[in-house]
Amino acid sequence: MRPPADAIGTLALIVGVIASLIFIGVEAALVYAIWRYRASRNLAGQPATFERNRRLEIAWTAAPALILAAVFVLTLGTMAEINGAGVAPAMRIAATGHQWWWEFGYGGTKTANELHVPVNTPIDLDLTSVDVIHSFWVPELGPKMDMLPGTTNHLRVLARRAGSYEGQCAEFCGVEHAWMRIRVVAQSQAEFDSWLAAQAVPAVTQGGDGERVFFLSNICVNCHTVRGTAAAGTAGPDLTHVASRATIGAGVLPNDVARMRAWLADPQRYKPGSLMPRVPLSDADLDALAAYLGALK
């Protein structure tokens, strides 16, 4: 199957051409009428009036009806195609909206904000939300679809070429809606397999200062999971391999140790209203914590 976005693009092109032809026809008739019946031609008397021109009325009722019927049939075909057209998905990925980040589940392996997919492979995303209505939209991959609390919607996506694709929550979902970006990384099947295998591995215990701070007073671990450790919170993104992601906070900062430290020092500075509170920590603790998270590759 071709990418759903291509099917939508073709339909948009056809409708655009039809609309352009109508526009040109109407404008041409208008210009002609202005010229033909201009005042300087000084035609005598009242202009002719037309009442009950049956042929004309049938024509201007039937023509739009036929055009719309054609567009309707094409739209039904496109809808069937973007839903998969009977092609079974090669893979299902759970995608859950949170205020204001994305959770992706590959079986038991959870990750956040960065969706990895094998290239040229039909994939169904099972979309839901844990809080308000979000909407998953990566324009180059497929249509947008709402994520509703309590139900699961299915969205077919397919990436034709390897590379990264940008997306965005498309349903206003609160103050940080604008910083709810999606990054999709499409990879060859082999690259994808090794990425997923690496994500599935639990974190190794580092035993350093940063790890101690992370578990301190049960603050971070109350909200975050690091698989392989006692940290099992679910209010925030899974951090098991947080350093493997390109950005922090659903796109708000590029991901490196310096920016990680800045984020931890005050998430509210970068994402005001974000559901991660500012945790007061000493400079030394921040350094150690950023180094710990930076090693969670």
Footprint of Cu ion on this chain (CB under 5 A)? Answer: 134, 169, 173, 180
| Count of positions on this chain that bind ligand HEC (CB under 6 A) | 29
Contacted by 169, from Cu ion, ligand HEC, none: CB < 5 to 8 Å by type? Cu ion
Starting at the earlier edge strand, list the strands of the sheet with 101-106. 109-112, 101-106, 91-98, 123-129, 153-157
Please, are residues 71 and 111 in contact by the beta-carbon 8 Å criterion? no
Structure tokens at 100: 């204001």
User: If contact means CB under 5 to 8 A according to the sort of partner, which of Cu ion, ligand HEC, none does residue 250 touch?
Assistant: ligand HEC
Q: How far is CA 100 from CA 152, 234, 273, in A?
A: 19, 14, 10
271 binds, among ligand HEC, Cu ion, none (CB under 5 to 8 A by kind): ligand HEC
The candidate with the shortest Cα–Cα distance to 75, out of 22, 15, 20, 6, is 15
Burial per residue of 61-78, b for 16 or more beta-carbon CB atoms within 10 angstroms, e otherwise: eeeeeeeeeeeeeeeeeb
**Binding flags for ligand HEC, 173-192, as an x/- string (CB under 6 A):** ---x----------------
Rounded Cα–Cα distance for residues 110 and 187 (Å): 18
Q: How far is the CB of 177 from Cu ion (least distance, A)?
A: 5
CA angle in degrees (0–180, nearest 5) for 175-148-122? 110
Q: How far is the CB of 168 from Cu ion (least distance, A)?
A: 9
Please report, as residue ranges, which positions from 208 to 267 form the binding site for ligand HEC (by CB under 6 A). Answer: 214, 219-220, 222-224, 235-237, 239, 242, 245, 248-250, 264
Q: Which C-beta is closer to ligand HEC: that of 196 or that of 275?
A: 275
3-class SS string, 8-76:
HHHHHHHHHHHHHHHHHHHHHHHHHHHHHCCHHHCCCCCCCCCCCCHHHHHHHHHHHHHHHHHHHHHHH
Q: Is the dihedral of CA 34, 39, 43, 44 positive or negative?
A: positive
Confirm if 115 and 95 have CB atoms less than 8 A apart: yes
Q: Which of residues 71-130 bind ligand HEC (CB under 6 A)?
A: 100-101, 112-113
The residue among 15, 16, 13, 20 whose CA lies nearest residue 71 is 15
C-beta of 222: minimal distance to ligand HEC in Å?
5
> Which option in Cu ion, ligand HEC, none does residue 289 bind, with CB closer than 5 to 8 A by kind?
ligand HEC
CB of 94 to ligand HEC, least distance (A): 17
Shortest Å, Cβ 280 to ligand HEC: 9
**Nearer to ligand HEC among residue 112 and residue 145 (C-beta):** 112
CB under 5 to 8 A by kind: which of ligand HEC, Cu ion, none does 173 bind? Cu ion
- Closest to ligand HEC by CB, 67 vs 291, is 291
Residues that bind ligand HEC (CB under 6 A): 100-101, 112-113, 176, 214, 219-220, 222-224, 235-237, 239, 242, 245, 248-250, 264, 271, 274-277, 279, 289, 293
